[in-house]
Amino acid sequence: MKKILALCLMFSIISCDDGDLQIEVLDFDESSIQYCETISLDTRIFFKINDDEALILNLQSGLLKNEVSDGTITSTVPGKSKITYRIFTDKVSKDYFCNEIPLTEPVVANEIEAQGGEVLITTILGEDGESYIHNIQLSKTSLVTKDGSRITDLRISDFGTVTTKIDN
């Protein structure tokens, strides 16, 4: 009887707690960069969706310019730009972010804002001579959960590329 009681006690101690959210990897490599309206120099919200997860970039105003950059333009996080990671209760789509009237489903189950990092933008003139190509990268991104856990395996350095037309 003591062995059975000890075995039951051992299982209860090492059992998982489904209430704890454990995020070890953010992998948005297969997700393409999205935005709501036609890209212009005023576009500031970009996002990547991976089923029930989203990585949202709120870009510093005036960072996209229709001119070739002299090196890399840097914006600090959270000081000037903002990176937010959200987990939803169900699969999320572009409509969630772009509808004029916000959708009520899916619900945000967890939201984590970056505590540090940088947004790096390099701009080149497109081959057509009428557009600019902006390569957006994330560097040193530090996401810390409410309980103080740090997400260490961030696979989001290449956020994506967007193109603006010269007449914008």
Give residue-wise pLDDT tens across range 50-89: 999 999 999 999 999 999 999 999 999 999 999 999 999 9
User: Tokens 């006690």 sit at which residue?
Assistant: 9
What was the pLDDT predicted at 8? Answer: 43
Name the pTM for this structure: 0.81
| 118-130 average pLDDT score | 96
Where in the chain are the domains?
Answer: 23-165
Give residue-wise pLDDT tens across range 21-50: 455 567 888 899 999 988 999 999 999 999
Give residue-wise pLDDT tens across range 88-101: 999 999 999 999 88
Q: Please check the confidence at residue 12 and state whether its pLDDT lies above 60.
A: no
